[in-house]
Structure 1
Amino acid sequence: MRNPWLVLVAGFAVFGLVACAGGGNGASKGQMGDLAGDEPAEGGISDVPNPSAEMASKSGKSLSRLQRGHEVYMLKCGECHNYMLPQAIDEDRWERKLPKMIGHAGLGTVEEQAVMDYVIGVRSLKG
């Protein structure tokens, strides 16, 4: 007799692979799409900066807004690929590619703007 928990876990694993495999647009490969010739700036959880009061002050975004963007980024973006490091990819590239990635993740414009605010916040610490 089959273990029902094992069947359930296997079903979720297959569903997750199918959900993250679609599109062929780079989302499932850990790419921002048009990083021709150079490796994407990828990292793990520990490489992604946490929102801070300094980040909020320099970016002009509220800390709670940055925290929401960070939360969406951490929970959704890592489901299908490695984290693209906000501090290592220019803002224009994020603005071009984020809508496609947000749509691929099944999120809406509110989440998209929160993630973009977070990216702007991280980048504000660079310079």
Structure 2
Amino acid sequence: MSSIRKMMSQAEPEKEPAPVTLPRTLAPRAAAPQAQPAVNGGETPRRLNLPPVAPPEERKPLSTRVKPSLKKVLEDYTKEIRDAGFHATQELVLDVLLRELRDSDELREKVASVLVQELQ
């Protein structure tokens, strides 16, 4: 699981340096009016072409029973991600697992074959 910690540390955003502030003992000088720098030759900046933000999907409770050993695996996995500095929850981990199951035909085949073997 150390590979997860390594991935998470690489994904952390770089911290910006704190802005420099003047001590309060120095009074600001009366500044002469300065011209604003022209953007794009005096034109107003063009608006970004960003897609609209989709509202978050409503969450519904998932009431199910799992083996205590597997619940411990989920708890440990989530804790490892949280210890790396990310606000992960068991719900978010399960969301990702279910999305991967939905989107990956290979994963669906693998899960189905394991289930067939366990149910025989």
TM-score band (shorter)? under 0.3
Quick check: which one's helix share is greater? 1
TM-score by length of 1: 0.27
What TM-score results when the alignment is normalised by the length of structure 2?
A: 0.28
Larger Rg: 2
